[in-house]
């Protein structure tokens, strides 16, 4: 009997024992699954590539973005390689996902809704269609189409690349207006519902600067100001243009510099939303008033209001839109109104004059919201760590 039990225990031990290779494979698979779930539903790491959010966020700030703040999205394209986005690393145009299965927009419950002045990561709304240049980099199809025309694009670019919502480029800006707000910009100052909007603590604007020696700001002082910007000369050879925070302005004036605010003074900028200079002579510093669509709200539709809401109707909310003279048809029915199916938001950079934001492409739909910028976990500049920025919260 003892011999029988001994054989059984030895057999069981042989069955249970795993090879080192199998143990490593199982551990790796567990790590990948766990990391993917965390990245999808809890938080994700991003790096700041541009100066559009200075001084709140600087180039080469590494941040964590909370996805549970507004509720994590269920992926639109669940079949994808882990830890990839719209293009496979080390390739120019290989997509690491398939649209064989596409799930409709759904968001799990979160701790809060989007609030004014939140710093938010979102999928670029016009990123559904992109062009690839010779270097394999993305170029905005819609802005190229408006400036160069369809014939030029067809002759000089490969086929248009289309992407589902969750695979569009990730951008980061500040939400200055939420659904239901009315926004207006007067001389570079944002007004929300008729009242001046909150100015971010590290907000930057464009200034004319004349230093005491009539030369550009030297590199040592630029480092002190934490600025990567190259000076731009004006007609006056002693005056230069910089983007500065209020603290930077105080520092320069204390050194004897003459510093004056500069706003954009050209009207009818064709780059600015809604791209209708005939009826809306707006620019980046003089803009609106504009209503930010709210779910369930109904607006009047005519040839004057259609430019604001056309992309919402036919692209974001998937209707068939047709215009015949002064008549507007949605899903084959003539209409003079439209009721929104989602909430929308208006995003702008804190470095206001160096930011390509909602002024240049319009509203951000709620299904494009990725998460709330949470904390800076690493930051470096010119191969040096910015120790004072580590583990600081994003305001």
Q: What is the pLDDT of residues 307-321, one digit of tens each?
A: 999 999 999 999 999
- Measuring CA to CA, how many Å separate 204 from each of 23, 60, 211, 348, 370? 53, 18, 19, 12, 25
Choice among 28-42, 64-78, 130-144 with the minimum mean pLDDT = 130-144
Statement: residue 180 has pLDDT above 70: yes
Under the banding of pLDDT at 50, 70 and 90, the label for residue 262 is confident
- SS3 letters for the chain? CHHHHHHHHHHHHHHHCCCHHHHHHHHHHHHHHHHHHHHHHCEEEEECCCCCCCCCCCCCEEEEEECCCCCCECCCCCCECCCCCCCCCCCCCCCCECCCCCCCCCECCCCCCCCCCCEEEEECHHHHEEEECCCCCEEEHHHHHHHHCHHHHHHHCCCCEECCHHHCCEEEEEEEECCCCEEEEECCEEEECCEECCCCCCCEEEEEEECCCCCCCCHHHHHHCCCCCCCEECCCCCCEEEEEEHHHHHHHHHCCCEEEECCCCCCCCCCCCCCCCCCCCCCCCCEEEEECCCCCCEEECCCCCHHHHHHHHHHHCCCCEEEECCEEEECCEEECEEECCCCEEEEECCEHHHCCCHHHHCCEEHHHEEEEEEEEEEEEECCEECHHHCCEECC
Choice among 177-191, 195-209, 301-315 with the minimum mean pLDDT = 195-209
Distance between CA 167 and CA 87 in Å, rounded?
Answer: 9
Statement: residue 5 has pLDDT above 50: no
Statement: residue 4 has pLDDT above 60: no
Q: Which residue did the predictor score with more confidence, 331 or 13?
A: 331
Under the banding of pLDDT at 50, 70 and 90, the label for residue 155 is confident
Distance between CA 200 and CA 395 in Å, rounded?
Answer: 8
Statement: residue 232 has pLDDT above 80: no
- Segment 326-347 mean pLDDT: 97
Residue 3 is predicted with a pLDDT of 46
Choice among 43-47, 65-69, 224-228, 293-297 with the minimum mean pLDDT = 224-228
Supply 166's token pair.
């969750």
Residue 263 is predicted with a pLDDT of 81
- Segment 239-243 mean pLDDT: 87
- Segment 46-61 mean pLDDT: 93
Residue 235 is predicted with a pLDDT of 77
- Segment 180-194 mean pLDDT: 96
Under the banding of pLDDT at 50, 70 and 90, the label for residue 45 is very high
Statement: residue 94 has pLDDT above 50: yes
Residue 10 is predicted with a pLDDT of 53
Residue 15 is predicted with a pLDDT of 54
Mean pLDDT of the chain: 91
Q: Which residue did the predictor score with more confidence, 113 or 134?
A: 113
Choice among 18-22, 147-151, 285-289 with the minimum mean pLDDT = 18-22
Beta-bridge partner residues of 287: 185
Q: What are the residues whose beta carbons fall under 8 Å from the beta carbon of 154, sequence distance 6 or more?
A: none
Statement: residue 154 has pLDDT above 90: no
Distance between CA 242 and CA 221 in Å, rounded?
Answer: 13
- Segment 282-300 mean pLDDT: 96
- Segment 171-196 mean pLDDT: 97
């Amino acid at each position: 009997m003892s011999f029988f039990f001994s054989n059984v225990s030895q057999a069981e031990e042989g069955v249970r024992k795993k090879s080192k290779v199998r143990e490593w494979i199982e551990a790796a698979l567990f790590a990948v699954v766990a990391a993917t779930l965390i990245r999808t539903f809890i938080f994700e790491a991003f790096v700041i590539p541009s100066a559009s959010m200075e001084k709140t966020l600087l180039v080469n700030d590494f941040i964590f973005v909370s996805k549970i703040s507004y509720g994590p999205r269920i992926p639109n394209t669940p079949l994808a390689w882990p830890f990839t986005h719209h293009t496979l690393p080390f390739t120019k145009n290989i997509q690491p996902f398939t649209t064989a299965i596409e799930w409709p927009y759904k968001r799990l419950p979160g701790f809060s809704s989007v609030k004014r002045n939140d710093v938010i990561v979102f999928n670029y709304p016009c990123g559904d269609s992109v062009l690839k240049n010779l270097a394999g980099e993305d170029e905005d199809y819609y802005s190229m189409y408006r400036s160069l025309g369809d014939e030029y694009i067809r002759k000089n670019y490969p086929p248009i690349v289309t992407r589902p919502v969750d695979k569009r480029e990730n951008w980061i800006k500040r939400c200055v207006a939420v659904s239901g707000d009315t926004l207006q910009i007067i001389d570079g100052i944002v007004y929300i519902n008729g009242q001046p909007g909150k100015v971010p603590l590290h907000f930057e604007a464009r200034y004319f600067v004349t230093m005491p020696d009539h030369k550009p700001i030297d590199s040592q002082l630029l480092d002190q100001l934490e600025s990567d910007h190259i000076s731009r000369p004006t007609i006056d050879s002693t005056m230069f243009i910089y983007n500065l925070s209020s603290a930077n302005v105080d520092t320069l004036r204390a050194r004897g510099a003459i510093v004056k605010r500069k706003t954009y003074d050209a009207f009818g900028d064709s780059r600015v939303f809604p791209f209708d200079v005939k009826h809306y002579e707006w620019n980046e510093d003089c803009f609106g008033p504009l209503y930010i669509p709210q779910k369930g709200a109904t607006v009047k539709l005519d040839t004057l209001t259609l430019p604001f809401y056309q992309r919402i109707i036919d692209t974001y909310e998937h209707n068939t839109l047709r215009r015949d003279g002064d008549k507007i048809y949605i899903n084959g029915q003539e209409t003079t109104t439209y009721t929104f199916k989602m909430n929308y938001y208006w995003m702008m950079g804190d470095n206001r004059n160096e930011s390509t934001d909602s002024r240049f492409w319009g509203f951000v739909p709620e299904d494009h919201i990725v998460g709330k910028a949470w904390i800076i976990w690493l930051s470096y500049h010119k191969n040096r760590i910015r120790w004072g920025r580590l583990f600081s919260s994003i305001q």
